[in-house]
Amino acid sequence: MIMPRTLPILYGSAIALLSSTSAFAVEAEPFAERLSAVLEKQNLSIDYAGAEERGDDVVLSDVTFSVDGTSVEAGDLLFEGVTGSREEGYEIKRFSTDLERDNAASGWKVDDFTLESIDIAGSDPASTTPTSSDLYFESATLGGVQVTESGKVSFSLTGAEIDNAFSDKGVLTSNFDLGNFMMKPAIGEDEPSLVTKLDYEELRGSASGKASWDSQTGELKIDQVQLAVEDAGTLTFSESISGYTPDFIQSAMQLQQRMADKPDNTEAWTAGILGLISQLKLGELELSYEDASLVDRLLSHYAELGNQSVEQLVATLDTMVPAMLAGFQNEEMQNDIAAAVSRFLKDPQSITISIDPTEPVPAPQILGAALGAPATLPGILNLDVTANQ
């Protein structure tokens, strides 16, 4: 039996415990305001009827997202495991939602969109996320996206994933798999679209890739980004750029904000963009295409339009390519590229364009060569074009 004289002690302990719990709980309204400010910089507006703390979670009620005048009602949104403050920033363990918009003519829906381990920079200028941006997450998954037009599915995407990791040495690595997509070509009002004329009733494929960014050196590497379309072809892209430092990112964000505030000041924005580009250097670059019937379809289509055979069309293109490259004023390069293009057109397998300079080339040097001495550009970049290898 609890003695009367012990009751004040128990009550006091309970009050102290409750008080300490609420002291560590995040305040919902400041969190919502900071989230809104960060999303606004991404051109995404968010309106909500109320913000409420539920233990370590925050719930925003009756949420509406707006992008470029288009609004979507999202209902109540749950942010799990929220910690931090408006000034120092917030960490969120998990956020997930489903979105849908539908009307008589068309509609779309997003299923199982989830973000985990989210960082939001605070209002204090010293507060940043691991990547120096206002928003960072470790993983994102998307169950599916579906777009309908006139009651029929015109686009779908399933199984998209993005994984980010930031090392102690300041290196961000990202792996993404955008899953599988299906897209039906638009039907022209006057005549069928080109995709339809090429006998593609729908396009199916996938996209994936990986990238890394060293925040200390500013080196950005994009590795094997691949877009594959069934019965069409596969496009693969890799690139490395240096000079992409946190200071560069901050300057780009500031310029973007000034452009939004004064969109008519085009001369200032042009100078600002050129100033940013001048800080970058181009390293390796490779763009390759592996055909899976798209080129054959294109050649057959345009040969039929010209009332000629595919062989005649290819012969005509063989004579056009060197003339198109004459502006480079580099006969050796013209001949090498023309020969590679000719091999590819006569037997469409693969074609690759690569740049591999001995050291990263400053962007101003590339622009200067392109405008003033185009004949030197292939040598500066160590440009190469190969086919069917």
Instruction: Check residue 370 and give its pLDDT.
Output: 86
Four-CA torsion 82, 83, 85, 89, nearest 10 degrees: -80
Looking at beta carbons, which pairs linking 225-231 to residues 24 or more positions away fall under 8 Å?
A: 229/203, 229/204, 229/205, 229/292, 229/294, 230/203, 230/204, 230/205, 230/292, 231/200, 231/292, 231/293, 231/294
- Residues 303, 299: Cα–Cα separation, whole Å: 6
Q: What are phi and psi of 125, to 5 degrees?
A: -55, -25
Please list the pLDDT of the chain residue by residue as tens digits (389 residues).
344 444 343 344 433 333 333 344 689 999 999 999 999 888 889 999 999 999 999 999 999 998 877 888 899 999 999 999 999 999 999 999 998 887 767 888 999 999 999 999 999 888 888 877 889 999 999 999 999 988 889 999 999 999 999 998 889 999 999 999 999 987 655 667 888 889 998 999 999 999 999 988 999 999 889 999 999 999 999 999 999 988 888 888 788 778 877 777 778 778 888 888 899 999 999 999 999 999 999 999 999 999 999 999 999 999 999 888 887 788 888 889 999 999 999 999 999 999 999 999 999 999 898 888 888 888 899 999 999 98
- Residues 206, 204: Cα–Cα separation, whole Å: 7
- Residues 338, 335: Cα–Cα separation, whole Å: 5
pTM of the complete model: 0.83
Instruction: Check residue 25 and give its pLDDT.
Output: 63
Angle between helices 331-346 and 310-324 (to 10 degrees): 160
Ordered DSSP codes for 207-250? EEEEEEEETTTTEEEEEEEEEEETTTEEEEEEEEEE---HHHHH
- Residues 243, 277: Cα–Cα separation, whole Å: 9
Strand-pair partners of 118: 92, 137
Closest CA relative to residue 337, chosen from 349, 357, 354? 354
Strand spans (E) along 3-134: 45-47, 50-54, 57-67, 70-85, 89-102, 106-120
- Residues 247, 259: Cα–Cα separation, whole Å: 18
Give, as one character, the DSSP assignment of residue 251. Answer: H
Cα distances from 173 to residues 45, 207, 209, 244, 276, in angstroms, run: 29, 18, 11, 15, 24
